A and B are shown apart, each in its own frame.
Chain A
């Protein structure tokens, strides 16, 4: 039989020489998802610790005190960075959860799209709120 002469996959990989050289695998993204999750995770360690300490300091603060704190002006910058890193990291994490549990292609695509749109909408809503307070006359 002709098939018996075919070399085993280990000797004749299905991947083209170009694909092997680029090294991005079948998903065409290589380690990009993994790496971005790590970059945002590293950024979130100091940002989260700062945020928790700041929130504890703000317990019981009224509106004027809170807005003055946001405008002081470092908190505004750190809050925007926190929102960007948080929702980026969230989108990457929820993507894996959706890919693991939703197997029907159309459902999975819909869930991924809705999840990404929501992450962007909430991030922009939060950033807008911070900038509105920080830049108000």
Chain B
């Protein structure tokens, strides 16, 4: 019997976008972005340990529009990866793997990410003195 000539790899372009696949891709994308964010953290700590002047330079950069945009993207990626990571840990216990659970968890992650990001920035900006 000759085997059917089926496609050998997932041809992504023939599939409709779904919450599940988009969130899976986003988990990896935010993970890669956070790797770069971790370098920002080390840069910040290193500058603080080098003295007041390097620290002030980093603070000036982070307070600029580019810096704030970078920090906003970082916080969004961090909260998404954190919330979706907890979703993965729940899956690892064997729970929430039925289709309805996967979708409910997905929407919960997106809602939590939005709430955590907005609350952090509202509180953070209200603390900002200059």
Which residues of A pack against B, CB within 8 Å? 38, 41-42, 44-45, 48-49, 52, 55-57, 59-60, 62-64, 66-67, 70, 79, 83, 86-87, 90, 93-94, 97, 122-123, 125-126, 128-130, 132-133
Contacts of B28 in A (CB 8 A): 97
Number of interface residues of B (CB under 8 A): 33
Known: A122-B39, A129-B48, A129-B49. A90 touches B34 (CB 8 A): yes
Chain B 64-97 interface residues, beta-carbon cutoff 8 Å to A:
75, 78, 82, 85-86, 88-89, 92
Q: Is the CB of B128 within 8 A of A60?
A: yes
Q: Name the residue on A nearest B38 (C-beta).
A: A86
Q: Chain B's nearest CB lies how many Å from the CB of A115? A: 9
Which residues of B pack against A, CB within 8 Å? 28, 31-32, 34-35, 38-39, 41-42, 45-46, 48-49, 51-52, 55-56, 75, 78, 82, 85-86, 88-89, 92, 120, 123-125, 127-130
If over half of A's interface residues share one DSSP class (helix, strand or loop), that class is named, otherwise mixed; here it is: helix
Question: B48 is contacted by which of A38, A57, A60, A63 (Cβ under 8 Å)?
Answer: A63
Taking A86-B41, A93-B32, A130-B45 as known contacts, 14 extra A-B pairs with beta carbons closer than 8 A to each other, sorted by chain A number, are: A41-B85, A41-B89, A48-B82, A49-B82, A59-B124, A59-B125, A60-B129, A63-B55, A66-B55, A79-B45, A90-B38, A122-B42, A125-B42, A125-B46
Contacts of A64 in B (CB 8 A): 52
Contacts of A97 in B (CB 8 A): 28, 31-32
In the bound assembly, the distance between CA atoms of A56 and B23 in angstroms comes to 27
B78, B82, B88, most chain A CB atoms within 10 A: B82
How many residue pairs at the A-B interface have CB separations less than 8 Å?
Answer: 83
Contacts of B56 in A (CB 8 A): 62-63
Q: Chain A's nearest CB lies how many Å from the CB of B84? A: 11
Q: Is the CB of A83 within 8 A of B124?
A: no
Q: Is the CB of A60 within 8 A of B127?
A: yes
Q: Chain A's nearest CB lies how many Å from the CB of B75? A: 7
Q: Name the residue on A nearest B56 (C-beta).
A: A63
Contacts of A86 in B (CB 8 A): 38, 41
Q: Chain B's nearest CB lies how many Å from the CB of A66? A: 6
